[in-house]
Structure 1
């Protein structure tokens, strides 16, 4: 009897199903990986937006103020 057959006999109906991150949390390991992927992507988008706002306030804002004073 091979190892996979022993494991299949031991697990019964749970054989081949994904395991949960925690037994009390209905979240599978692949779902947690997807969550980490999306939150990482969202964090980088937030950093880019923050940098764009910072450049706008730092450079474009004072330039517009100077332009209004001279016209």
Structure 2
């Protein structure tokens, strides 16, 4: 008997399903990794947007005279 058949018999109904992070938590380990990757990417996008906004306000804005209040 092969290893896959032994594993299938041992796991029974759970064979081929991913493990969850915790029995009470409805997300799998792969889904949690995807969430971390997504939030990391969005964080870097936010940091880039913050830098662009800062450069616009700090450097480009005064060059056009937007800082002067009449």
The question of a shared fold, defined as TM-score above 0.5 by the shorter chain, is answered with yes
Q: Which has the higher strand share?
A: 1
TM-score normalized by the length of structure 2: 0.81
**Cα gap change, 1:47 to 1:29, in 2 (>3 Å):** same
What is the aligned-residue RMSD (CA, Å)? Answer: 2.1
TM-score normalized by the length of structure 1: 0.80
In the alignment, structure 1 segments of 5+ residues that lack a partner are none
In the alignment, structure 2 segments of 5+ residues that lack a partner are none
- The number of aligned residues is 69
SS in 2 for 1:13: helix
